[in-house]
């Protein structure tokens, strides 16, 4: 059974909205990074759904690229979190003004 493309777009839009709300509403850095990851996964879902809908393999190649970007973003974000947590003792995203040098 093939899922209709409209259902895939609806699910991806819902996931993207949930990630955007999580990113905008939270002050904790880990939750912000999780929201960004959910938004990247929603974009990957759209690419895979479009590839299945149009019968190409380009969507899978884009998803591999998105997964690489997400891994790099998670790595850099976790290093920044570790540095900020050691320097200030909390994970508040507003404390990043202390990283001036």
Per-residue model confidence as pLDDT tens digits over 6-58: 999 999 999 999 999 999 998 888 888 889 999 999 998 888 888 888 887 77
Helix, strand, coil shares of the chain, percent, nearest 5, are 85, 0, 15
pLDDT of residue 64: 86
Encoded tokens for 101: 């040098």
Boundaries of domain holding 28: 5-89
With respect to residue 100, please indicate whether it lies within any of the assigned structural domains.
no
pTM listed for this prediction: 0.78
Domain count, the chain: 1
Asked whether residue 99 is assigned to any structural domain, the reply reads no
Give me the pLDDT at residue 16, please: 96
Q: Which CATH number characterizes residue 24's domain?
A: 1.10.287.3510
Strand, coil or helix: 78: helix
User: Hunting for tokens 């001036």 — which residue is that?
Assistant: 100
């Amino acid at each position: 059974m093939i899922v209709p493309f409209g259902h895939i777009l609806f699910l991806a839009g819902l996931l993207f909205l949930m990630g955007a709300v999580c990113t905008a509403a939270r002050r904790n850095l880990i939750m912000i990074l999780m929201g960004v990851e959910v938004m990247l996964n929603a974009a990957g879902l759209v690419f895979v759904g479009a590839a299945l809908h149009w019968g190409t393999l380009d969507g899978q190649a884009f998803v591999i690229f998105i997964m690489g970007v997400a891994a790099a973003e998670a790595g850099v974000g976790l290093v920044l979190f570790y540095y900020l947590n050691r320097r200030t003792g909390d994970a508040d995203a507003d404390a990043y003004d202390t990283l001036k040098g």
